Amino acid sequence: MIEKAEKILQQYYGYSSFRPGQEEAILHVLEGRNTLAVMPTGGGKSLCYQIPGLSLDGTAVIISPLISLMKDQVDALLSYGIAATYINSSLSAEEQHQRLRDMKSGRYSFVYVAPERFDSPNFLSALNSIPLSLIAFDEAHCISQWGHDFRPSYRSIVPTLKKVSNLPVLMALTATATQEVIKDIKQLIDVSEEDVVNTGFARENLSFRIIKGRDKREFIDEYLTKIPNESGIIYTATRKDADQLHYLLTKKGFSAGKYHAGMTEHQRKQSQMDFVQDEIKTMIATNAFGMGIDKSNVRYVIHYAMPMNIESYYQEAGRAGRDGEPGDCVLLFSSQDINLQRFLIDQSPSEEKKKDEYVKLQAMVNYCHTHTCLQQFILDYFDDPTAPEPCGKCSNCTHEGEEQDMTKEAQMVLSCIKRMGEHFGAGLTAKVLKGSKDQKVKQFRFDTLSTYGIMKGYTEKQLTRFIHFLTAEGYISTGQGKYPALQLTKEAVSVIKGDQPVIMLVETTTARQELNYNEQYFEELRQLRKRMADEVGLPPYVIFSDATLKELTVYLPETKQEMLQIKGVGEQKWEQYGETFLQFIRPWAENADSKPKPVRPSDASMASKKDPWEDRPSYMITYELWDEKSMSIQEIAEERNMSPQTIENHLFRSAKEGKDIHWPRWFNEEQEVQVLQVYEQSEDRKLKTIKEQLPEDYTYSLIKAVLARHHLK
Ligand code: ADP
Ligand code: ZN
C-alpha cells in the first residue's frame, strides 16, 4: 500500500521522501483507521490527506474554518492536475449550485468546505449520494473546547456528520494541540491511541534569535539591505509603529507593504495580495496579519517588539519557512516592550484573565533572557512529547558573535546618568559621554561633568546602542512618563561598585543562507516564475517553491530525466512548466565547468530515511573538520566563516553528543574541580555567576568546556 503512496509522492508532487509522520499518518488512513495527525506548521499535513484521497476511490471532503486558504489549496491541487474545488460563501449562489452538482456527479477528487456547509440540506444530500474516500478536519484544534481558537459551530457538525450513510474514514489535522486538545479530538471523532501521529512541534528549519541592545531600525535597515529580495514579515506591537516603520523603509527604497486593523478592508486585501504575489518583499504588520495566509516562501519573521505570550510568538514566527527551507526568526527585544504589554493586559476587565496573561507574559520575558536553547525553551513550554535536543542554531546555541567584558564602559555610562540627575533620555546621555558641543548639553552645563567626553572614542550611535543594551539587561529603567528618562536600577548600583560584571554578546546581523546556490540564477528564475504566475493568475510559489528554484540553479538540469530528479518536480509540473524552465537553464549548464548530481535515496524503501547530507547539523561539520582534518579552531572559523566562539561551541556540543574531545586543551584537573565546585554552589547556575566566583584567568571557554564535559550546560 505504501508503495502506491510513494509513487504518488514522486509522480504528482516530485518529492522523493516523506517528512516525519507523513508515512505513518497516510498508512493509518489507508487502512481505514480514523487518524489524528499533529505536525508542526509546514510539516506537510496536506499530503497526509491528499495522498490517501488520491489512492482511495471516491471524493475526499476537507473541512476547514479558514475560507481564505481554500482557494490556495485548490489551486495547488489543480496545478498538479488533480480535480479539486471549494464550496463556500465567497461564491455566488449560482456558482455554489454548479459546484454542488458537479460534486454529485463525482467529478472531484477533493472538495473543500467550511463547517457552515453542514447546515445545508443540499450539501448533506450530495454527501449521502456519492462514494467518499475520506473526510478530513483541517485546523482540528478549533473543534476542541480546550483549543485556543475554539469554534463551537465547527464542533457541532460532528453529530451531523456521523449520520452520513456512507461515512468514510475520518482524519483530523492540526499544528497546535495540547494533551487536553488531543484527548478531546480523539473522543470526538473516535481515534484510538495508536492512531494519533504526533511529531511534536519542533520546526527544524527555523533558527530563533534574540537581539538585545541594538537600535531596532538600524538593525532592520542592515538586515533588509543584505537580503532585499527575500520575502519576510516584520511584526510591530502597534499600528503606529507599523505606519512609521513602513514610511521609513519605503522612503529608503525597500519593497515593503503594511497591514493592520486601521486600514480599510480593501487596502488590507490589496496589501496581502501584493505580498502573496511577491509584488512586495517585506510586510510590516500588526498581529492582525497572518491568520489564513499560506505563503510558503517567507524567509524571515522579525518581531519589532516582544509579543504578549509565547503562543502568539510561535504562531507568528512560525509563518517563516513553511516550505521547509531555512527561516530566520528574530526577536528585537528591549525592556520597554514589557511595559507596553503590561499596559495592554491592564486594559482587560477580568481580573482572572489579567492574572493568567501576566503569567504568560512572564514566560515570554523569560524567553528573552534565557541562556538555554530557544527552540528547546519553546518546546518545553508546549510540553512537546519528543524531548528535543538543543537545536544547535538559535542565538543561544551558537553564541554567534563575541562575548565582551563591558564592565568598565557600563560604569562610565551609569555614573554619567547618575550625574545628569536621572532625568534624560539615551540621546542626550550619549552626547554627554561623547563630549558633544550640542546646545542642550551646554544649556544644562553637562560639559562641566566629570563624565563629559569620557567615551569620546565611540560614536553617538554606538553609545546609544550600548545604553539600550544596558536597559535591556535591566541596569537602567526608563520610567513611566511620556519621555523616557533613564534611571538606575538596583543592579546598576552593583555594577558601579564593581560587584557585577557586564558581559555583552555582540551579535551578527546576517541572515542564514544554507544551501550554496547561485544567487544570480535564482533571481532570474524567480523573475521567470513571477511572469508565469502572473500569466495564469497563481501565486508564484504554487508553480515551484524557492527550494526547487535553488536546486535548479545548483544541478542545472538539461533533460526531462534530470529535471525530474529535482525536489518538487513531478510529472505534472514537468508537463506544465518543465520546458520553459529548461530553455532558461540550458545555456547556464552549457557554460558550467561541471554539474553536481542531486543526492537522492536510490532505493524506494529507504525513502523515509532522511538524506544524511541534507540535515547534517552544523556542529557535526565542525567536528569532522576538527577530528578528521585536524584543523585548528581558528582555521575552522575562517573556513566556515564563523567566529571562533561558535566553533568552540560546536565542539562542546559534539562532546555532549558523545564525541571524543581532547580536554587538556581547555583545562587541567585542578581547574576542572574548581569550576565544578563553584557550579554546584551557584544559585542560578548561569555562566556569568560562575565566572564571577572564579579567578580572573578562568575564561568563559574554560568554564564552558568543563560544563560540556560533564553535560551540565
Ligand atoms: P502544513 O499544512 O503542515 O503547514 P503543507 O502541507 O502546506 O504544511 O506543506 C508545507 C510545504 O512542504 C509545501 O510546500 C509542501 O509541498 C511541502 N512538502 C510536503 N511534504 C513534503 C515532502 N515529503 N517532501 C518535501 N516537501 C514536502
Ligand atoms: Zn538552540
Q: Quick: pLDDT tens for 57-88.
A: 999 999 998 887 888 889 999 988 999 999 99
- State the ligand closest to the CA atom of 378: 2
Mean pLDDT of all residues in 656-675: 83
Q: Which three cell numbers stand for residue 359?
A: 503569567
Q: Which atom of ligand 1 is nearest to the CA of 41?
A: 4
Q: Coil, strand or helix: which one is 591? A: helix
Convert the pLDDT of each residue in 143-194 to its tens digit.
987 766 788 889 999 999 989 999 999 999 998 777 888 999 999 999 999 9
Give the residue with greater pLDDT, 681 vs 514: 681
CA torsion through residues 678, 680, 684, 687, sign: positive
Tell me which of 11, 18, 19 to substitute to probe ligand 1's pocket, judged by most ligand atoms within 8 Å of the beta carbon. 19
| pLDDT of 215 above 70 | yes
Query: Going by CA atoms, what residue is nearest to atom 1 of ligand 1?
Result: 42
Ligand 2 midpoint to CA 469 (Å) = 22
Ligand 1 midpoint to CA 321 (Å) = 10
Ligand 2 midpoint to CA 148 (Å) = 26
Per-residue pLDDT, 483:
64
Q: Which atom of ligand 1 is nearest to the CA of 43?
A: 3
Domain ranges of the chain: 2-198, 206-401, 403-457+479-496, 519-603, 618-709
Query: Going by CA atoms, what residue is nearest to atom 20 of ligand 1?
Result: 44
| pLDDT of 509 above 70 | no
Per-residue pLDDT, 600:
52
| pLDDT of 508 above 80 | no
| pLDDT of 629 above 70 | yes
User: Cα–Cα distances in Å, from 397 out to 258, 374, 625?
Assistant: 33, 8, 19
Convert the pLDDT of each residue in 246-281 to its tens digit.
999 999 999 999 999 999 999 999 999 999 999 999
Mean pLDDT of all residues in 432-438: 93
For the chain, percent of residues with pLDDT exceeding 70: 93
Q: Which atom of ligand 1 is nearest to the CA of 175?
A: 3
Mean pLDDT of all residues in 504-520: 60
Ligand 1 midpoint to CA 324 (Å) = 7
Give the residue with greater pLDDT, 148 vs 343: 343
Query: Going by CA atoms, what residue is nearest to atom 23 of ligand 1?
Result: 18
- State the ligand closest to the CA atom of 399: 2
pLDDT level of residue 504 (50, 70, 90 thresholds)? confident
Ligand 2 midpoint to CA 80 (Å) = 37
Tell me which of 16, 322, 548, 600 to substitute to probe ligand 1's pocket, judged by most ligand atoms within 8 Å of the beta carbon. 322
Per-residue pLDDT, 329:
97
Report CA 24 to chain centroid distance, whole Å.
Answer: 25
CB 321 within 8 A of CB 205: yes
Q: Which atom of ligand 1 is nearest to the CA of 18?
A: 23
Tell me which of 66, 293, 323 to substitute to probe ligand 1's pocket, judged by most ligand atoms within 8 Å of the beta carbon. 323
pLDDT level of residue 613 (50, 70, 90 thresholds)? very low
Mean pLDDT of all residues in 549-566: 89
| pLDDT of 380 above 90 | no
Per-residue pLDDT, 513:
40
Ligand 1 midpoint to CA 457 (Å) = 52
Q: Which atom of ligand 1 is nearest to the CA of 9?
A: 23
Whole-angstrom distance, CA of residue 257 vs CA of residue 283? 5
Which of 231, 600, 176 lies closest to 378, judged by CA?
A: 176
Ligand 2 midpoint to CA 338 (Å) = 23
Which of 223, 224, 229, 225 lies closest to 211, judged by CA?
A: 223
Q: Which atom of ligand 1 is nearest to the CA of 22?
A: 23
- State the ligand closest to the CA atom of 210: 2
Report CA 39 to chain centroid distance, whole Å.
Answer: 15
β-strands 503-506, 402-405: how paired? antiparallel
Ligand 2 midpoint to CA 307 (Å) = 20
Q: Which atom of ligand 1 is nearest to the CA of 45?
A: 3
Whole-angstrom distance, CA of residue 665 vs CA of residue 704? 13
Convert the pLDDT of each residue in 122-139 to its tens digit.
999 999 999 999 999 999
CATH 1.10.150.80 fits 519-603, yes or no: yes
Ligand 1 midpoint to CA 183 (Å) = 26
- The chain-wide mean pLDDT, for the chain, equals 86
Query: Going by CA atoms, what residue is nearest to atom 19 of ligand 1?
Result: 44
Mean pLDDT of all residues in 652-676: 83
Ligand 1 midpoint to CA 703 (Å) = 42
| pLDDT of 316 above 80 | yes
Per-residue pLDDT, 507:
53
Q: Which residues contact 664 (CB under 8 A, 6 or more apart)?
A: none
Ligand 1 midpoint to CA 265 (Å) = 30
Ligand 2 midpoint to CA 344 (Å) = 30
Query: Going by CA atoms, what residue is nearest to atom 13 of ligand 1?
Result: 323
Query: Going by CA atoms, what residue is nearest to atom 24 of ligand 1?
Result: 15
Query: Going by CA atoms, what residue is nearest to atom 25 of ligand 1?
Result: 15
Ligand 2 midpoint to CA 147 (Å) = 27
Convert the pLDDT of each residue in 448-502 to its tens digit.
999 999 999 888 878 887 887 787 677 888 765 556 689 998 989 999 998 888 8
Q: Which atom of ligand 1 is nearest to the CA of 541?
A: 14
The CATH number of domain 2-198, selected from 3.50.50.60, 3.40.50.300, 1.10.600.10, 3.50.80.10: 3.40.50.300
Q: Which atom of ligand 1 is nearest to the CA of 13?
A: 16
| pLDDT of 601 above 70 | no
Question: Which H or E run includes 271?
Answer: helix 265-276
Query: Going by CA atoms, what residue is nearest to atom 5 of ligand 1?
Result: 44
Ligand 1 midpoint to CA 48 (Å) = 10
pLDDT level of residue 610 (50, 70, 90 thresholds)? very low
Ligand 1 midpoint to CA 18 (Å) = 10
Q: Which atom of ligand 1 is nearest to the CA of 296?
A: 14
For the chain, percent of residues with pLDDT exceeding 90: 44
Mean pLDDT of all residues in 567-573: 84
The CATH number of domain 403-457+479-496, selected from 1.10.10.10, 3.40.50.300, 3.30.365.10, 3.40.50.620: 1.10.10.10
Q: Which atom of ligand 1 is nearest to the CA of 322?
A: 10
Query: Going by CA atoms, what residue is nearest to atom 11 of ligand 1?
Result: 323
Ligand 1 midpoint to CA 522 (Å) = 21
- State the ligand closest to the CA atom of 619: 2
Pocket, ligand 1, Cβ cutoff 6 A: 15, 18-19, 22, 39, 41-47, 296, 322-324, 545
Tell me which of 2, 6, 9, 13 to substitute to probe ligand 1's pocket, judged by most ligand atoms within 8 Å of the beta carbon. 13
Window from 207-211, 304-308, 613-617 with minimum mean pLDDT: 613-617
Per-residue pLDDT, 515:
54
Q: Cα angle at 420 between 488 and 490, to 5 degrees?
A: 10
Per-residue pLDDT, 479:
64
Q: Which atom of ligand 1 is nearest to the CA of 138?
A: 2
Per-residue pLDDT, 597:
73
**Exposure class string for 486-505: b at 16+ Cβ within 10 A, else e:** bebbebbeebbeeebebebb
Same fold, 2-198 and 206-401: yes
Tell the CATH topology of 206-401.
Rossmann fold (3.40.50)
Whole-angstrom distance, CA of residue 685 vs CA of residue 27? 47
DSSP string, 75-126: HHHHHTT--EEEESTTS-HHHHHHHHHHHHTT--SEEEE-GGGGG-HHHHHH
Per-residue pLDDT, 713:
64
Report CA 94 to chain centroid distance, whole Å.
Answer: 41
